[in-house]
Amino acid sequence: MKRMKKTFLCLIAACGMLPLSVFGQYVPSADNLEARREFEGFRFGIFLHWGIYIEFAQGEWYLNSGKLKQEEYQKVASCFYPIHFHAKEWVRAFKDSGAKYVTFTSRHHDGFSMWRTKESTYNIVDATPFRRDVLDELAKACQEEGIRFHLYYSLLDWMREDYPLGSTGHDTGRRLRPNYDSYFLFMKNQLRELLCNYQGVDGLWFDGYWDHSSDATPFDWRIKELYDYIHTLKPRCLIGNNHHIAPIEGEDFQMFERDLPGQNTSGFSPNQTVSQLPLEMCQTMNGNWGYHVADNGYKSARDLITLLVRAASKGSNLLLNIGPQPNGELPSAALERLKEMGVWMRENGESVYGTTRGEEYPWGVTTRKGQTLYLHVLEKTDAVTIPLAKKPRSASASFQYDRRNHILTIPNVEQYDIIKVELLD
């Protein structure tokens, strides 16, 4: 009864902004299109991988390592007590870095829910001595700070008996009683909780679809039904799915793992073409998503800024991952980088926020906002040249314009300069 009331309230909230379905095709609501536009302008978000796996400090795939069984793994829930966790401090650090949204792992492949779910006692409130709903605290802190809040949600599960076994999680010691109807209902109920019980959940980031990509008989995730369900509950909610294939109907943004859109250096997306949807690439700050005690291989702040700029030039956001520590603190190496990025963003943010796709050159990349072109010099060079149809109105550095060949040259540049060029209409 209570559940019906919540759903009803959720529907009322969405009233007047319902998604349309024309001949079975998804037509995003006006509200959703507005959320997409806003999301596209963000350019920088923070990804958080945080779950009970942090207690092992070996990354978020530890349950799949074959080193321990489900019963042993679950026991660490009773040690989860991140005494220094303060949602507001985290979110302030993200905001100061210039990030505009946060994507938090509500439930990773180990099936542990980081909120007070009624669908399973294997959750942060019922199974840990901490007993705090960290997802709720983060959602509220984000609302207070004006940061958008998205949730990662794993479609695959290494714990539940009813999840039909895919290519991972074979050695967790669970009994297998595959029943996708029951598992699908569980996911829908959980997603309804997340969308209706928590304020400001603006996006869902699915992962694990690839777990069934090498099945002999194609697996039916009933994904359209799932997406329709979500958009009916909350039309504005942006859906993305890390399936490493071309977007599926019903998705509102396209994501790329450890790669700029159109690249395939990670090997995850050999055939992933770039769509017209808003784009997002995700990358780790060090080498791992979840906290790993031995991973000190942090990328420099300069490299992270360069990645952000390159992503913006491809028309993409950068979702930069941090794996918070077992004690509830963000690693100091991550905090240092966030600070440096914040300094850069305060000074140069206009060259990435709200910009559209640019071009790539041997010396760097461009981004564009209306009639303003930003030239980001990313390599060591003496001068930059770009083809330009007309002599620009002005530029933030002295320039030469070759009218015959339509070439703009900016001499005497330095690596990491940003040159602003005002174009004629």
Q: How many residues bind ligand FHN (CB under 6 A)?
A: 7
Rounded CA-CA distance 12/7 in Å is 9
Query: What are the two backbone dihedrals, phi and then psi, of residue 142, each rounded to the nearest 5 degrees?
Result: -65, -40
Under 8 Å between Cβ of 29 and 20: yes
Helices and strands: H and E segment counts in the chain: 9, 18
Q: Which is nearer to ligand FHN, 133 or 257 (CB)?
A: 257
Residues 58-77 that bind ligand FHN (CB under 6 A): 60-61
Under 8 Å between Cβ of 243 and 255: no
Least Å from the CB of residue 258 to ligand FHN: 7
Least Å from the CB of residue 199 to ligand FHN: 25
Rounded CA-CA distance 382/358 in Å is 21
- Judged by CB under 6 A, does residue 242 bind ligand FHN? yes
- Judged by CB under 6 A, does residue 112 bind ligand FHN? no
- Judged by CB under 6 A, does residue 14 bind ligand FHN? no
What is the torsion angle, in degrees rounded to the nearest 10, for the CA atoms of residue 62, residue 67, residue 73 and residue 79?
-80
What kind and span of H or E run contains 144?
helix 134-145
Q: How far is CA 371 from CA 358, 368, 396, in A?
A: 12, 7, 14
- Judged by CB under 6 A, does residue 136 bind ligand FHN? no
Q: Which is nearer to ligand FHN, 100 or 107 (CB)?
A: 107
Q: Which is nearer to ligand FHN, 274 or 418 (CB)?
A: 274
Q: Which of 55, 133, 136, 207 lies at the binding interface for ligand FHN (CB under 6 A)?
A: 207
Rounded CA-CA distance 82/77 in Å is 11
- Judged by CB under 6 A, does residue 159 bind ligand FHN? no
Q: Which is nearer to ligand FHN, 42 or 256 (CB)?
A: 256
- Judged by CB under 6 A, does residue 253 bind ligand FHN? no
- Judged by CB under 6 A, does residue 417 bind ligand FHN? no
- Judged by CB under 6 A, does residue 211 bind ligand FHN? no
- Judged by CB under 6 A, does residue 280 bind ligand FHN? no
Q: Which is nearer to ligand FHN, 334 or 375 (CB)?
A: 334
Least Å from the CB of residue 207 to ligand FHN: 5
Q: Which is nearer to ligand FHN, 94 or 374 (CB)?
A: 94
Q: Which of 90, 227, 253, 289 lies at the binding interface for ligand FHN (CB under 6 A)?
A: 289
For residue 116, which of 148, 94, 149, 139 has the smallest C-alpha distance? Answer: 139
Strand blocks (E) in 194-291: 201-207, 238-241, 254-257, 279-284
- Judged by CB under 6 A, does residue 172 bind ligand FHN? no
| Per-residue interface string for the shown chain with ligand FHN, residues 23-62, x marking contact by CB under 6 A | -------------------------------------xx-
Specify the 3-state DSSP secondary structure of 205: strand
For residue 115, which of 151, 83, 145, 61 has the smallest C-alpha distance? Answer: 151
Least Å from the CB of residue 174 to ligand FHN: 18
Under 8 Å between Cβ of 113 and 106: yes
> Which residues in this chain contact ligand FHN in the complex, by CB under 6 A?
60-61, 207, 242, 257, 282, 289
